Amino acid sequence: MIRVEHIGIAVSDLKKAEALYTALLGAAPYKREEVASEEVVTSFFQVGPNKIELLESTADDGPIARAIAKRGEGIHHIAFEVADIRAEMARLKAAGFTLLNEEPKRGADNKLVCFVHPKSANGVLVELCQEIS
Ligand code: CO
């Protein structure tokens, strides 16, 4: 793992959350991007070497909508940048972690991503992400 790449925050109103985080961080988001396969629209803020990703559901029963129904708004996942996502997936699988996808998939912000089940990571949804070059 190279570094914490971003922290994902589930929000129910992206527009309001963008205004709030713009005020909090003192800088506007640098991009908004919909990821249709995940049923989310995301908004990214740069904070030094790390990012904050706000996530709003685009479907009533999407993953983010379900997370908010269960636990309310708040931190949804922690994403770690990796150099070789397939190698990291194999390493974690061999170490007994449960991966939520068997193949890397295309995520927001030009990344290949894979998620690790929170049950195998002390209740934290972990995202591995590798920049697509
Ligand atoms: Co993320």
What's the 65 CA to ligand 1 centre distance in angstroms?
15
Question: Which pLDDT does position 2 carry in this prediction?
Answer: 96
What's the 7 CA to ligand 1 centre distance in angstroms?
7
Average pLDDT of the segment spanning 98-120:
95
In this predicted model, what pLDDT tens digit does every residue of 68-84 receive, in sequence order?
A: 999 999 999 999 999 99
What's the 109 CA to ligand 1 centre distance in angstroms?
9
Banded model confidence at residue 92, pLDDT cuts 50, 70, 90: very high
Question: Which pLDDT does position 84 carry in this prediction?
Answer: 97
Question: Which pLDDT does position 86 carry in this prediction?
Answer: 98
DSSP string, 14-83: HHHHHHHHHHHHTS--SEEEEEGGGTEEEEEEEETTEEEEEEEESSTTSHHHHHHHHH-SEEEEEEEE-S
In this predicted model, what pLDDT tens digit does every residue of 21-44 receive, in sequence order?
A: 999 999 999 999 999 989 999 999
